[in-house]
C-alpha cells in the first residue's frame, strides 16, 4: 500500500514547544555562519563556537531549538564572566 504524505499534512503535526529541529544550514544562519563553517566545526569536533548536535541522522546532524537556546544562554553567561 503506497501512502503519500502531503506538505499540508506535515504542517499539522504538533512539535512540542522549543523542540523545533534545526539542520546545519538553519543553525549557521542563526549563529551567523555559513553551512560549510558549521560542518567544518563538526568534522573537527570543535564545539567552542557551535553547540553539540542533539542527534546525528543519515541526512546530517540536527539540533533542537531548546538546546540551542540553552547553549546561547550559557555562552552569554560565560562571556560576561570573562
pLDDT band at residue 79 using 50, 70 and 90 as cut-offs: confident
- How is residue 59 written as a grid cell? 541526512
* Helix H or strand E segment including 56: strand 55-57
Task: Give the residue-averaged pLDDT of 49-73.
Answer: 93
User: Is residue 14 scored above 70 in pLDDT?
Assistant: no
Say if residues 21 and 63 touch (Cβ distance below 8 Å): yes
Angle (CA) 62 67 70, round 5°: 150
pLDDT of residue 19: 73
User: Is residue 56 scored above 80 in pLDDT?
Assistant: yes
pLDDT of residue 20: 86
User: Is residue 44 scored above 90 in pLDDT?
Assistant: yes
* Helix H or strand E segment including 31: helix 24-31
* Cβ partners under 8 Å of residue 19, min gap 6: 64, 65, 66
Q: Which residue has the higher pLDDT, 57 or 3?
A: 57
CATH of 17-81, one of 3.40.50, 1.10.1140, 2.60.40, 1.10.1660: 1.10.1660
Amino acid at each position: 500500500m503506497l501512502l503519500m504524505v502531503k506538505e499540508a499534512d506535515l504542517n499539522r503535526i504538533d512539535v512540542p514547544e522549543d523542540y523545533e529541529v534545526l539542520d546545519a544550514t538553519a543553525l549557521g544562519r542563526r549563529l551567523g555562519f555559513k553551512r560549510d563553517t558549521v560542518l567544518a566545526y563538526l568534522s573537527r569536533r570543535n564545539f567552542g563556537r557551535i553547540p553539540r548536535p542533539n542527534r546525528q541522522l543519515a541526512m546530517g546532524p540536527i539540533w533542537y531549538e531548546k538546546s540551542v537556546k540553552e547553549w546561547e544562554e550559557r555562552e552569554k553567561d560565560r562571556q560576561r564572566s570573562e
